[in-house]
């Protein structure tokens, strides 16, 4: 079982990343901190007969690992009641992968199980639900199995250490 964690946090060792690491600590995994990679915003060429032009960034290297994975964990803080910009750029670029006939992107993605870990401070368990639904819709579109989610309530660095429910949920996420 190959597990890939995609962390959309803009802070190293933040609350969301801590929850994600807790979820996979007993499993072999690959962690991509998207902030450490150059992933350019999409130049939407979905309807252009020529398709997408090649992009010189790190997206392709990450998507290769994603395609080799069985389980994907999308971990993002709740930023302005949505996913982080890093995560959004990454997922937006899926439109480019969908148009690449060499990838069979949707077919490969449909064989994956996906989880979501989000964390925020402003009533996250309620205000984070639309973000969970957004991921659910993305996974449904791709034909991916949605394995579950965790919403952690934490804001300042290390606040998550006081949220035993979220920590225990993370420990049990892949069991």
pLDDT at 91 over 80: yes
What pLDDT sits at residue 162? 96
Q: Please name which of 149, 151, 148, 172 lies closest in space to residue 160, comparing C-alpha atoms.
A: 151
- HSE on the CB side for 5, CA within 13 Å? 25
* Number of domains composing the chain: 1
For 1-51, the pLDDT digits (tens) are: 999 999 999 898 899 999 999 999 999 999 999 999 999 998 888 888 887
In the prediction, which pLDDT does 47 show?
82
- The pLDDT mean for the chain works out to 95
What tens digit of pLDDT does each residue of 124-160 get?
A: 999 999 999 999 999 999 999 999 999 999 999 999 9
Q: Which residues pair with 73 in a beta bridge?
A: 5, 115
The CATH number assigned to the domain holding 143 equals: 3.40.50.360
pLDDT at 46: 80
**CA–CA dist 51, 46 (Å, integer):** 6
* 70 or 50: which leads in pLDDT: 70
Structural domain including 59 reads 3-172
Give 96-118 pLDDT, tens digit per residue: 999 988 899 999 999 999 999 99
Per residue in 76-88, pLDDT tens? 999 999 999 999 9
**Number of residues written out for the chain:** 175
| Predicted pLDDT at 4 | 98
How large is the average pLDDT for residues 65-71?
A: 98
**What H or E segment, with its residue span, contains residue 65?**
helix 59-68
Tokens standing for residue 90:
């990454």
Give me the torsion for CA of 108, 86, 35, 57, rounded to 10°: 60
Residue whose C-alpha is closest to residue 4's, from 25, 35, 29? 29
The DSSP secondary-structure symbol of 5 reads E
Q: Which residue has the tokens 């009533």?
A: 123
For residue 63, what are the contacts with CB-CB under 8 A and spacing of at least 6? 93, 97, 103
CA distance 24 to 20: 7
Beta bridge mates, 75: 7, 117
pLDDT value at position 9?
93
């Amino acid at each position: 079982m190959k597990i890939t964690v995609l962390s959309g946090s803009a802070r190293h060792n933040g609350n969301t990343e801590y929850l994600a690491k807790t979820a996979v600590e007993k499993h072999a995994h690959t962690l991509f901190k998207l902030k450490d990679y150059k992933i350019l915003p999409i130049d939407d060429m979905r309807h252009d007969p020529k398709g997408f032009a090649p992009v010189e960034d790190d997206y392709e290297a990450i998507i290769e690992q994603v395609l080799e994975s069985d389980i994907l964990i999308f971990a993002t803080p709740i930023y302005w009641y949505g996913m982080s910009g890093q995560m959004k750029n990454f997922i937006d670029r899926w439109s480019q992968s969908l148009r690449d006939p060499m990838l069979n992107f949707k077919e490969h993605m449909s064989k994956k199980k996906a989880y979501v870990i989000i964390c925020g401070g402003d009533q996250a368990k309620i205000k984070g639900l639309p973000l969970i639904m957004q991921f659910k819709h993305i996974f449904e579109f791709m034909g991916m199995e949605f394995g579950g989610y965790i919403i952690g309530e934490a804001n300042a660095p290390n606040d998550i250490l006081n949220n035993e429910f979220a920590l225990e949920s993370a420990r049990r996420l892949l069991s």
